[in-house]
Homo-oligomer: A and B are copies of this chain.
């Protein structure tokens, strides 16, 4: 015997969110069944609202409800933090340590997956360099992220822009004993004066 059809369909939708297995999707669908009519309607409307209201900021490419996002409208444009995805903007914002603006690439270079420079928002970055003094390239410290950072740095440096990358090293609260060799060797290379 299988699930009632509407439930099977909803499980299927949840399973499409990425990183959601069947059991988890089933749990979510059952949670919806157990919700009040009003709560479920609010959920469905929140989905419609997001599709109605959210677009990409015409400047930085982050999610926004206006043509130009709040960050691009209000903040210091002399420093641009380049990230791969909107979720990285959320992560940097949470630190409160950055007061400049962002540029979301929507991807990284990946020859294996056939993503080249035209598939990520590099051209858009080059167009907004007027008045920019520093570009921090905060792509992930993995193969694709490093390659993307190198590529962008090579484009920007001849234009006289300072190009930086967040420091790599051992994480707060971690054990030196368990740090991987690459991380530990970079941490030692970039050691700081006390």
Main secondary structure of the interface of A (DSSP, over half): helix
Taken residue by residue from 85 to 123, chain A's Cβ proximity to chain B (1 for < 8 Å, 0 otherwise) reads as 011001001000000000000000000000000000000
Say whether A28 contacts B17, CB under 8 Å: yes
Q: CA separation between A71 and B2, bound complex, in Å? A: 9
- Chain B residue at smallest Cβ distance from A10: B46
Interface flag for A40 (CB, 8 Å)? yes
Interface flag for A4 (CB, 8 Å)? yes
Say whether B46 contacts A13, CB under 8 Å: yes
Q: CA separation between A6 and B37, bound complex, in Å? A: 21
Say whether A48 contacts B44, CB under 8 Å: yes
**Of listed A16, A47, A69, residue having the most chain B CB within 10 A:** A47
In the complex, which residues 38-61 of chain A have their Cβ closer than 8 Å to any Cβ of chain B? Answer: 39-54
Say whether A4 contacts B51, CB under 8 Å: no
> For A13, what are the chain B residues with a Cβ–Cβ distance below 8 Å?
42-43, 46
Pick from B4, B32, B48, B50: contact of A7, CB below 8 A: B50
> For A17, what are the chain B residues with a Cβ–Cβ distance below 8 Å?
27-28, 31-32
Interface flag for A9 (CB, 8 Å)? yes
Interface flag for A65 (CB, 8 Å)? yes
> For A7, what are the chain B residues with a Cβ–Cβ distance below 8 Å?
50, 54, 63
Min C-beta distance of A90 to chain B, whole Å: 7
- Additional A-B contacts beyond A1-B75, A20-B28, A37-B51 (6; CB < 8 A): A4-B63, A6-B49, A17-B28, A18-B31, A30-B63, A47-B47
A contact set with B: CB distance below 8 Å: 1, 3-7, 9-10, 12-13, 16-20, 26-33, 35, 37, 39-54, 63-65, 69-71, 75, 86-87, 90, 93
The 11 listed contacts between A and B (C-beta, < 8 Å) are A4-B64, A7-B50, A10-B46, A10-B49, A13-B42, A13-B46, A18-B27, A35-B51, A37-B51, A40-B48, A44-B48
